[in-house]
Amino acid sequence: MKTYHGSCFCGAVAFQADGDLADGTMRCNCRFCRKMRYWEMRLPDPHGFRLMRGAQDLARTPRMQDEGIDMHHHFCARCGTRLWTDGEMAELGGRFVQVCVSALDDASEAELIAAPVHWADGAHDNWWQSAPETRHL
């Protein structure tokens, strides 16, 4: 486990997240994730996320509620950088936080290359299965 430091492009928002890229990351082929170039690391404990600065500069998507999924996506209102997703999902054990890998400032190139990726098939509401095609994601 490592404490990663993350921020937006303009530096207005910063956070810390306790996790391990070696435990795996996820990308998804649903419409939202394709548009956002989704790549996130789920934190093993949602309390391992700490906002360090910039609460006043945060924006978020409206809460998405569909088939037991209750979540929203946070981003910097100044520069638009996607930062993290949080919500509730029974399949994930309840409350969860996932940080955007692209927002991690101190993830080494070697960690990013070695990080396993689960390619979720969200386009067919089948997130637990691998997407049939991933080259475009």
List, for residues 84-108, the tens digit of each pLDDT value.
999 988 777 889 999 999 999 999 9
Distance, C-alpha 41 to centroid of its chain: 6
Q: How many percent of the chain have pLDDT more than 90?
A: 62
What pLDDT is recorded for position 2? 96
Q: How confident is the model at residue 69 (pLDDT cuts 50, 70, 90)?
A: low
> How is the chain split into domains, by residue range?
2-122
pLDDT at 85: 94
| Angle (CA) 28 85 112, round 5° | 60
Q: What is the CATH number of domain 2-122?
A: 2.170.150.70
Query: Rounded to whole angstroms, how far apart are CA atoms 41 and 19?
Result: 8
Given a cut of 70, whether residue 66 has pLDDT beyond it is no
Rounded Cα distance, 131 and 126, in Å: 9
Quick count: other Cβ atoms within 10 Å of Cβ 135?
A: 4
